[in-house]
Structure 1
């Protein structure tokens, strides 16, 4: 719960991001960069899943450089007579099934000079019968427009044209009859472009052909064509696209008013089919999501856009130069019973577009790809993006945001990274599965949300929490070993500088005879002397998890058990004292080489309840300990010299230690205290103390029992033997001197064996 509360701000930030991105998904507002990112994902998915290969059902007749260089064709535009010849050749010689033009025939062909001849016939040569007769004979050959009309009449040909959205757009030519009359889309959500004009074919041509259709694509924000509108709204009527006209013609359906549907059948496996909705029976507007052509349902959006199912890169359909058709040199098998689209790739004429599968892509091949998809619509070639996908995307986004906002906020960076990658990968796989089921679900918003929540949390962790950790480290780092600070920084809320009661172990150390030493050294050497000594001793203390409290001249004060709690505080403190004495041996050698005085230190340790925390004045504070147990530790350090030992520990410290061999030294009553305490000398780590030392300790214990029993002779004998066997130990002579003095006094039946110290 504490971790949750600590991370509440990060959780809220994640949820806010989720709400913001949800606005994009629900269409409340649009963020351009998200749309562009979705386009990139869509294009990548398209390229990875497109079938590739060549679809020879549709052949593109190319007005290419070869055709423009043909001596009988020449530069563009060609005469209508030449196109009439090409049409006749296609249907009569090559037996094609259908022809569509990605070209507009908006201008009359006056290249034959027939208009001039007719003008002469009504003026200068009006009275010349021979001229009139000759003109009548050659008129059928020179009337190129009539030749073109005759070639197109009663043949499955679709002419293309375009709409214009400019405010100053004009109406040129004739677009033919609309597919749907005005009012056909009442009750549907309609977001189609409102066109202002058009550039279409000559009315005389349109009147003779079966169908015509616009070839306007939908260009996305990045300039890429991914969709083509099947319908174009103009003055309330709805005109079909070139590819839709060709599909209807190919399907043998020339009747107008194809039924519209407001719902797409659900193609997800294992689900029921949603019935079509009749908007006339609906009280609210229905999303325009499909158009039926016969039994084929074509999915589209409310702007009537259809996603172009690109088969592959440029060249996914056969290309034949129109010059080869004109010469009848093209392969008949390539064209027989095929759908033909006429377009151009020639420089200067090229209708090149940017598509998901190529930056320079012939516009005519865009229509070929869409027409192929429409022909295969029953097999799901056209991807659908119905309205329920918005709801599905929103649910996924909301769940993702909720999960990530909570989990990442309370997790480590490693767990957060793994979780973000796993969720992003899972959603990507799910998205591909939905794509393969025939639907398109945008993915960018969800991936962006994952990235933002991850980045915001990592940035927050670095900028805010890392700063807090640095401050925490700076606060405790001067007292506590780095490894403990790192451990504490993982859960800083567990640690506080505020004062509290705790059972700890405190250590005091002091250099014996430091005043004399300081008099022997220059100020520079004295500073170096004390710095080197304090550094080595502090290193030992920190290596055992000790908290450095302070330096008082040559004295060191440290403690264990705070701020990091440990049950081994006494053992760690005593081990540090033993290691400090060992480190002092090496330090003496270093000092000797530098000509510095020999050094000895006394160490006192005490355990018990103390007050620990940040204490001091407004000017300066320190993380320190206070209490009777602290004072006792200081006093024990002071009396080490009176027992000839280097380390003394209080009874409570002795009781809390494990794995260390001790020698009981005495019972003492320090100043200000009535109750006596036992004091001990740590001899060494249990595994390192040999049998001889254990024997010495046992014999010492015997002498101590004799001493407290006032058996002075027995005690004196024990001590003399110990001095002989362990002459370096300063404790025995001190007790021997005590015994000699006691022997001069009468036996005191009230003596408790306690040594009293009246000074600190």
Structure 2
């Protein structure tokens, strides 16, 4: 009952702890600290690396790259605006659908002749009558973009000291102020005069909000500025290409400031709640780029025409010195302009990654479900089944995440359910481990009262199962019984009697365990033990005999203490036998004991009873004597009829150990004892006499005083000495 109660309590503790961990995990996920966020983002990067987009050369997007070759041929950046104007004219001539500059034109062109005339050094060489306004490079660039689908880039700035930019696109908000929480620009870099008046398109070139300089995973479609909402450069270039005036921002009906999607013409673009698009990258491909030097070549190039005609053209730079390099989720460093290009590609392909609050809620549900599975299975079946069930559930979550990403372009985070589930499993498994270890130690302490420590260690190492059934093997069995227990019990209160038995059996039990024995049971005033089971013990008859000798010594010490308290001394009788028995777990399916059954058990029990007949405390069987005669001081005690045993059993007295056996006085006693037994067997009256018995008795008193009783009664047991002694 105690074991069942312990298991029930542990089950409920596991459940309570497990559900508490699930609740704590939910709170952690809702608060979304940096470690949780970064693990999610790294996982999304990993998904993209496993299944990136592929480059489609037919998509109408190209980048005119101010690359190292262009700088080498045409000079360092910035180029005169007249050259930039020529670039626009060439692109329009090749049939570009729209042109967007991922370049800032914030100050007047310092190469413009108009600006040179303002320098006093150059002014003296110029005639006053010359009008240089017609040679203004900014004006030439302005004339080139006037009326053409060209978008100029502006950058978000953290100050309010610049002139504000007027949006060119119409922004129509649907819902409860969805533009309220868009990425904010306190101000924009200005556009040089007269570009700020003639540009038909203006877009933000930033690919991430200010201060975010790590991996670019999301790109804002729209920016909230001081003069209104300005689109990002990519969506502005797309707007000009399809000749749309308005961009629609759809928000939630009852949630202020939440963006659900952005629409432009026929394109419907899902976004996160602040109007950003999750980028689904492809490896950077040279097919996206056209060298600015090639475009500016005065000769017409039909190959270039086929690459530019009808396409959205983004102008930017990959030159390292111009510092416009960003890192993508694929681990690649690419020009910032290519990110705008890939954004347009995704919109055109309708392959924009999606992630919403609903998906985040489903991730939380997956974490809860995984936690409930782990907790439930572990509380019922333990750690291993829980690990298997949790592994299956975790695999399902991973599979769901993969299918959602590859088939539906949905970002479903599997890291929090998996990591959270593993943490929960680890904590619960750790609790079970410590609880099991605690129970194991308790059981070990209890079991160590019956089994020698070295045997217990060997049992634990072998991992033997506790199952019903047994096996036949040779063992040595011991029965030890208190002499005169009934009269003793009548003179003592029950509580004192129990205390005395506990103290005595503690000492005797320690002697048995110290000599590799297994205590089978305590039966009232007696104890049963055996050797060579549950694990093999070499020379087990000798171990048993040595344990009996140690018990004799412990009893003497016990009686010495009792005599100091004027208490009656205690006597014990020990009977031992070696033979084959069935050893194993015997009982019912629900309750069983490890014990031994067989003839040898009955013989040992009867030998213990025969100790009274022989008037000696430690008596063993012939089989046991044969196995250990070289190590023990033994004397033949006669052939005794044992109750329940068909034939007489030749018994031997255990006088002492090896040292006693090798002593000269014991050898003299053994010689006289043999002569006495021979005379008793042959009925030789001349030899069989009181003097012969007394001679043996007097020598025995010097070796083991307990032998006195044996020799005092031997004359009454003439019939027991009719078998040959061991040579």
**Which bin holds the TM-score, normalised by the shorter protein?**
0.5 to 0.7
Could you say which residue in structure 1 is the equivalent of 2:502?
none
SS of alignment partner, residue 360 of structure 2: helix
Q: Which structure 2 residues correspond to residues 648-667 of structure 1 after superposition, within 5 A?
A: 657-658=597-598
Could you say which residue in structure 1 is the equivalent of 2:76?
75
Q: Say which is worse superposed, 342-351 or 482-491, in terms of deviation.
A: 482-491
Q: Which structure 2 residues correspond to residues 344-743 of structure 1 after superposition, within 5 A?
A: 344-377=317-350, 381-409=351-379, 411-436=381-406, 437-462=408-433, 465-466=436-437, 469-470=440-441, 473=444, 476-477=447-448, 479-480=450-451, 481-482=455-456, 486=460, 507-508=478-479, 549-551=509-511, 558-560=518-520, 573=530, 583-584=540-541, 636-637=573-574, 657-658=597-598, 701=646
Could you say which residue in structure 2 is the equivalent of 1:194?
184
Q: Matches of 1:554 and 1:151 in 2, distance apart?
A: 105
SS of alignment partner, residue 285 of structure 2: coil
Distance verdict in 2 for CA 1:227–1:661, change over 3 Å: closer
Could you say which residue in structure 2 is the equivalent of 1:676?
none
SS of alignment partner, residue 156 of structure 2: strand
Distance verdict in 2 for CA 1:366–1:490, change over 3 Å: farther
Please state how far the C-alpha of 1:218 moved relative to its aligned partner. 2.5
SS of alignment partner, residue 185 of structure 2: coil
Among 159, 177, 188, the alignment partner of 2:152 is: 159
Please state how far the C-alpha of 1:486 moved relative to its aligned partner. 4.1
Query: 1:379-424, CA deviations, whole angstroms, 9 ceiling, x for partnerless residues?
Result: xx00111222122122112111222233335554444443443332
SS of alignment partner, residue 75 of structure 1: coil
Aligned length: 559
Is it true that 1:246 corresponds to 2:191 in the alignment? no
Q: Say which is worse superposed, 417-426 or 351-360, in terms of deviation.
A: 417-426
SS of alignment partner, residue 195 of structure 1: coil
Q: Matches of 1:252 and 1:235 in 2, distance apart?
A: 26
SS of alignment partner, residue 263 of structure 2: strand
SS of alignment partner, residue 261 of structure 1: strand
Q: Matches of 1:175 and 1:327 in 2, distance apart?
A: 35
Q: Matches of 2:480 and 2:50 in 1, distance apart?
A: 74
Distance verdict in 2 for CA 1:414–1:89, change over 3 Å: same
Distance verdict in 2 for CA 1:667–1:65, change over 3 Å: closer
Contact 1:260 1:292 in 2 (8 A): yes
Could you say which residue in structure 2 is the equivalent of 1:48?
50
Please state how far the C-alpha of 1:150 moved relative to its aligned partner. 1.8
Q: Matches of 1:554 and 1:358 in 2, distance apart?
A: 68
Is it true that 1:230 corresponds to 2:204 in the alignment? no
Could you say which residue in structure 2 is the equivalent of 1:213?
203
Q: Matches of 2:145 and 2:244 in 1, distance apart?
A: 19
Query: 1:626-678, CA deviations, whole angstroms, 9 ceiling, x for partnerless residues?
Result: xxxxx9xx85526x7xxxx88999xxx9x982476966997998999xxxxxx
Q: Matches of 1:454 and 1:303 in 2, distance apart?
A: 36
Query: 1:66-108, CA deviations, whole angstroms, 9 ceiling, x for partnerless residues?
Result: 22222xx32221111111111111221x222221110111111
Please state how far the C-alpha of 1:580 moved relative to its aligned partner. 8.2
Query: 1:229-270, CA deviations, whole angstroms, 9 ceiling, x for partnerless residues?
Result: 11111237222111111222223322x2x33334xxxxxxxx
Contact 1:101 1:158 in 2 (8 A): yes
Q: Say which is worse superposed, 186-195 or 444-453, in terms of deviation.
A: 186-195
Among 259, 266, 269, the alignment partner of 1:288 is: 259
Please state how far the C-alpha of 1:323 moved relative to its aligned partner. 1.4
SS of alignment partner, residue 511 of structure 2: strand
Is it true that 1:31 corresponds to 2:33 in the alignment? yes
SS of alignment partner, residue 181 of structure 2: coil
Q: Matches of 2:28 and 2:11 in 1, distance apart?
A: 27
Q: Matches of 1:119 and 1:575 in 2, distance apart?
A: 112
Distance verdict in 2 for CA 1:216–1:110, change over 3 Å: closer
SS of alignment partner, residue 59 of structure 1: strand
Please state how far the C-alpha of 1:200 moved relative to its aligned partner. 3.5
Please state how far the C-alpha of 1:373 moved relative to its aligned partner. 0.6
Please state how far the C-alpha of 1:305 moved relative to its aligned partner. 0.6
Contact 2:63 2:338 in 1 (8 A): yes
Contact 1:472 1:489 in 2 (8 A): no
Q: TM-score, normalised by structure 2?
A: 0.64
Is it true that 1:259 corresponds to 2:219 in the alignment? no
Q: Matches of 2:20 and 2:645 in 1, distance apart?
A: 75
Contact 1:603 1:637 in 2 (8 A): no
Contact 1:84 1:151 in 2 (8 A): yes
Could you say which residue in structure 2 is the equivalent of 1:104?
104
Is it true that 1:299 corresponds to 2:270 in the alignment? yes
Please state how far the C-alpha of 1:459 moved relative to its aligned partner. 3.6
Contact 1:187 1:286 in 2 (8 A): yes
Contact 2:370 2:390 in 1 (8 A): no
Distance verdict in 2 for CA 1:657–1:683, change over 3 Å: farther
Distance verdict in 2 for CA 1:548–1:476, change over 3 Å: farther
Contact 2:317 2:324 in 1 (8 A): yes
Contact 1:158 1:213 in 2 (8 A): yes
Q: Matches of 2:514 and 2:155 in 1, distance apart?
A: 96
Contact 2:177 2:257 in 1 (8 A): yes
Q: Matches of 1:395 and 1:553 in 2, distance apart?
A: 56
Query: 1:689-708, CA deviations, whole angstroms, 9 ceiling, x for partnerless residues?
Result: xxxxxxx999983889xxxx
Distance verdict in 2 for CA 1:453–1:4, change over 3 Å: farther
Question: Structure 1: which 5+ runs fail to align?
Answer: 263-278, 493-504, 511-546, 564-568, 589-597, 605-615, 617-630, 673-678, 685-695, 705-718, 722-733, 743-760
Distance verdict in 2 for CA 1:577–1:292, change over 3 Å: closer
Is it true that 1:150 corresponds to 2:151 in the alignment? no
Q: TM-score, normalised by structure 1?
A: 0.62
Distance verdict in 2 for CA 1:344–1:307, change over 3 Å: same
Q: Matches of 1:63 and 1:385 in 2, distance apart?
A: 35
Please state how far the C-alpha of 1:374 moved relative to its aligned partner. 1.2
